[in-house]
């Protein structure tokens, strides 16, 4: 009878999560390819769609990010079977959206035992703005988050087979997936030594060695293939995205290192997470004498060390990594904050405050001169409607798209974003173009913003919830004409 009840609960939970996943994907069908996903999805997927799903050598050098073409291969497969479209692409994400929600519910179940509290903890965890944004985009993040939590839950429950499967797939989604595998290994070691109080020598058993060796095979095979066929792994030969290690001096490196620390701190507290962060820090301080630290050791280890390889790398390179790279840490901190609520009397009030801070974080929009992680909250959602209106206006007024400048991630073909077969392409902005298609979601440099302000005038503007799309025309007396 007990086993039957467990099976029924699993079925009910699966059905609810299935409905949630279907709802999320159905609301996302008109959301185009955005930011790096234009590269990981469209630009890498199109050659595979045209030349053969597994013909990875057909990816042109200027579209080759070096990462395993996991998402591109999935998309090319779906496009081949069901036709190339945004709808097909989002439906391909559905199993991973459902799988991640299931794994997150299992993650919560490990730490929260009361049935009702599990639901509220789950809601708080999945309300992280950066996670919510990934749910509505076609991207590799949801895929690798699914495999990460599959492997992590396997460690928490001592399931060696799911651990191998999770790690094996996690390592071939992106290079960052490989970094997350490193985080999983460190977590595994620390749980064994710091939490379970066992000697480190006993961790390195034959079983553990075989587990990680087998799990590493797919990633190793890809790296070998890449070296043989491409001759490079990470540093792009054309330096299209710049040189991450290009420093003029030790002083330049140290200044950049200090700046990266500030950026990292901002990312962990951005989009409402500052309330959760302060809540955790303040609670640990004022309740330090009464807290049973053993209850929180697991989540502290997971939150700190899951992305440790990523943020150490991010601190050292010239261009820091994005908000979404640390989602596993955000979610662990979210669950940790929920567990800490029990240390207070006004539990409902505290919970509502934490949840509201995350949900309201999706409304945060900075000034045009402040680089925002637009793919890391739901603030970008109005952009898709406004972008469509802008393109329709251009067509109605016969403004040539192929002569109109735009900015990353819109300085590409319409097809690369909308997957609709429209091969007309915006061109990269130089300041000499007659027309410009601009939005504040493009994160322009101060230099380009100054040129637009001085040399261009707005001929049509669309605004919704602090997101803008502007069609601009160069002034006849602009400095660029001189």
User: In which band, very low, low, confident or very high, does the pLDDT at 482 lie, cut at 50, 70 and 90?
Assistant: very low
DSSP codes joined into one string, 46-85: HHHHHH-TT-GGGS-GGG--SS--HHHHHHHHHHHHH-SS
The pLDDT tens digits of the residues spanning 9-27 come to 889 999 999 999 999 999 9
Predicted confidence (pLDDT) at residue 312 exceeds the cutoff of 60: yes
Predicted confidence (pLDDT) at residue 3 exceeds the cutoff of 60: no
26-39: average pLDDT: 96
Please report the pLDDT score of residue 471 as a whole number: 98
Higher confidence at residue 289 or residue 17? 17
51-61: average pLDDT: 95
173 phi and psi angles, rounded to 5 deg: -80, -55
With H, G, I as helix, E, B as strand and everything else as coil, classify residue 14.
helix
User: In which band, very low, low, confident or very high, does the pLDDT at 2 lie, cut at 50, 70 and 90?
Assistant: low
Please report the pLDDT score of residue 421 as a whole number: 95
162-180: average pLDDT: 97
Predicted confidence (pLDDT) at residue 248 exceeds the cutoff of 90: no
- Rounded CA-CA distance 241/347 in Å is 47
139-159: average pLDDT: 98
96 phi and psi angles, rounded to 5 deg: -75, -35
| Residue 383 tokens, joined | 């952009």
User: In which band, very low, low, confident or very high, does the pLDDT at 479 lie, cut at 50, 70 and 90?
Assistant: low
With H, G, I as helix, E, B as strand and everything else as coil, classify residue 204.
coil
Predicted confidence (pLDDT) at residue 413 exceeds the cutoff of 90: yes
Predicted confidence (pLDDT) at residue 454 exceeds the cutoff of 60: yes
- Rounded CA-CA distance 63/29 in Å is 25
392-401: average pLDDT: 97
Predicted confidence (pLDDT) at residue 480 exceeds the cutoff of 70: no
Please report the pLDDT score of residue 240 as a whole number: 67
Predicted confidence (pLDDT) at residue 340 exceeds the cutoff of 50: yes
167-181: average pLDDT: 97
Neighbours of 272 (CB within 10 A): 23
465-473: average pLDDT: 97
Predicted confidence (pLDDT) at residue 475 exceeds the cutoff of 90: yes
- Provide the percentage of residues in the chain whose pLDDT is more than 70: 97
Q: Which of 69-78, 234-243, 294-303 has the lowest mean pLDDT?
A: 234-243
Please report the pLDDT score of residue 463 as a whole number: 97
Average pLDDT for the chain: 94
Please report the pLDDT score of residue 246 as a whole number: 78
Predicted confidence (pLDDT) at residue 271 exceeds the cutoff of 90: yes
434-458: average pLDDT: 96
222-235: average pLDDT: 92
344-357: average pLDDT: 96
User: In which band, very low, low, confident or very high, does the pLDDT at 188 lie, cut at 50, 70 and 90?
Assistant: very high
Neighbours of 297 (CB within 10 A): 14
What pTM does this model have?
Answer: 0.96
* Axis crossing angle, helix 140-156 with helix 160-170, rounded to the nearest 10: 160
CA angle 246, 247, 252 (to 5 degrees): 155
């Amino acid at each position: 009878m007990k086993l039957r009840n467990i099976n029924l609960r699993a079925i009910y939970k699966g059905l609810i999560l299935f409905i949630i996943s279907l709802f999320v994907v159905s609301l996302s069908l008109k959301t185009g390819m955005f930011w790096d996903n234009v590269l990981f999805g469209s630009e890498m997927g199109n050659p595979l769609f045209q030349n053969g799903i597994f013909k990875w050598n057909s990816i042109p050098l200027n579209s080759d990010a070096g990462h395993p073409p996991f998402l591109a291969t999935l998309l090319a497969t779906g496009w081949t079977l069901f036709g190339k479209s945004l709808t097909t692409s989002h439906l391909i994400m559905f199993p991973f959206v459902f799988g991640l929600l299931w794994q997150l519910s299992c993650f919560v179940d490990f730490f929260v035992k009361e049935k009702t509290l599990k639901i509220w903890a789950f809601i708080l965890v999945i309300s992280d703005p950066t996670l919510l944004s990934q749910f509505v985009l076609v991207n590799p993040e949801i895929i690798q988050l699914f495999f990460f939590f599959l492997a992590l839950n396997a460690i928490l429950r001592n399931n060696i087979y799911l651990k191998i499967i999770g790690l094996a797939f996690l390592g071939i989604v992106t290079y960052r997936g490989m970094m997350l595998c490193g985080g999983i290994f460190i977590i595994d070691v620390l749980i064994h030594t710091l939490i379970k109080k066992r000697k480190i020598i006993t961790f390195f058993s034959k079983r553990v060695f075989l587990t990680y060796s087998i799990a590493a095979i797919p990633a190793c095979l890809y790296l070998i293939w890449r070296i043989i066929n491409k001759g490079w792994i990470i540093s792009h030969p054309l330096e299209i995205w710049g040189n991450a290690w290009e420093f003029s001096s030790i002083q330049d490196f140290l200044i950049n290192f200090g700046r990266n620390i500030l950026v990292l701190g901002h990312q962990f507290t951005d989009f409402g997470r500052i309330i959760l962060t302060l809540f955790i820090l303040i609670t640990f301080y004022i309740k330090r004498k009464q807290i049973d630290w053993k209850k929180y050791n697991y989540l502290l280890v997971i939150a700190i060390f899951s992305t440790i390889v990523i943020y150490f790398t991010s601190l050292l390179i010239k261009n820091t990594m994005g908000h979404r790279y640390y989602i596993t840490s955000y979610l662990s901190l979210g669950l940790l904050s929920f567990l800490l609520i029990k240390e207070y009397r006004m539990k409902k009030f505290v919970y509502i405050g934490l949840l509201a801070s995350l949900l309201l974080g999706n409304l945060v929009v900075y000034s045009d001169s402040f680089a925002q992680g637009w793919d890391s909250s739901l603030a970008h959602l109005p952009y898709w409607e406004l972008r469509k209106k802008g393109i329709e206006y251009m067509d109605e007024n016969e403004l040539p798209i192929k002569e109109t400048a735009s900015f990353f991630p819109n300085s590409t073909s319409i097809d690369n974003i909308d997957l609709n077969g429209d091969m007309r392409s915006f061109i990269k902005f130089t300041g000499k173009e007659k027309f410009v298609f601009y939005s504040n979601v493009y994160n322009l440099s101060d230099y380009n913003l100054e040129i637009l302000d001085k040399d261009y005038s707005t001929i049509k503007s669309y605004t919704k919830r602090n997101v803008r799309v502007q069609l601009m025309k160069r002034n006849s007396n602009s400095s660029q004409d001189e």
